[in-house]
Amino acid sequence: MSIHQILTHPGGAHKDEFLACCVLAAVHGCTIVRREPTQADLDDLSTAVVDVGGEHDPSRANFDHHQFPRDHEPVCALSLVLMDLGIYEDARSFCDWLETAERFDVTGPNSTAKWLGVERDALARLVSPIDITLLRRFAMVSQVKAGDPLYEVMRWVGEDLLEFIKSLRQRLAFVAEHAEVWEVDGLKVLFMPRTDPMPEEASAGLGRYIESLGLEKEVAGMVYPDRRGAGYGLSRFNDDARFDFTRIEGEEDVHFAHARGFVAKSSADQVERLKELLKIARVV
């Protein structure tokens, strides 16, 4: 389907339609208009109507969720767009923030805070000035088009989100092909060897891979190629305090150990030496 216009509601801007528009801008590169839709807009297959219009019909590029019944699983405009692109399940798996955003948009802050197990005030403490500025600037315009500073930022957001979701699936397959799970002094450690070619970020996806194996409660550490040198990084998984990497800072092949003990860098590249460093870092 060829989309030539993205249309969303006027007035206050919210994160769900903002992000949905970001994704659509990244895919289609067309102007975003903020006004109430007409029936002609809803019928126009070249206009994507987002978070307004009372209709969810991907075949007509209409992505509203407000007409769903009260007991419907919380989904927002972004969810519907991601579903249409066929990447929603991966997005829910890889983007920890997505379900919270869905619930916040559909059920409100009180219900979301209760679901998260925190006080409502905690949500306000997590709001970023980046969110505030982008949503405020988006709310101030009636349209935004390619070349406008705001549009290009939105396109970047959409591109990066899509790239993250799509590339992480590929990254997980790559990790599954190469990674090993070590048993070191009674603890499980995920080891990612150096490969040729090397991924740009060697540690990317390792945590998700551990979760996919159902080992998030068993794996205590990770070892992966140092992207800044020839050796390896050693780090805790989920900040597991059974490893304290300050214990290896005096080793001659360790050139960095964080003062809080959660990560270290070593020039060592032999498996046995890396395991030895892990044993030294092991907190009994």
For the stretch 213-255, pLDDT in tens is: 999 999 999 999 998 888 999 999 999 999 999 999 999 999 9
Q: What is the pTM of this model?
A: 0.81
pLDDT, tens only, 180-198: 999 999 999 999 999 888 7
pLDDT, tens only, 37-64: 999 999 999 999 999 999 999 999 999 9
Our CA dihedral for 65, 68, 74, 76, rounded to 10 degrees, sits at: 0
pLDDT for residue 87: 96
Region 1-27: mean pLDDT is 96
The percentage of residues in the chain with a pLDDT greater than 70, rounded to a whole number, is 100
Q: How confident is the model at residue 141 (pLDDT cuts 50, 70, 90)?
A: very high
Chain CA centroid to CA 51, Å: 22
Domains parsed from the chain with CATH numbers: 5-167 (no CATH), 179-281 (3.10.310)
Residue 79 corresponds to which amino acid? S
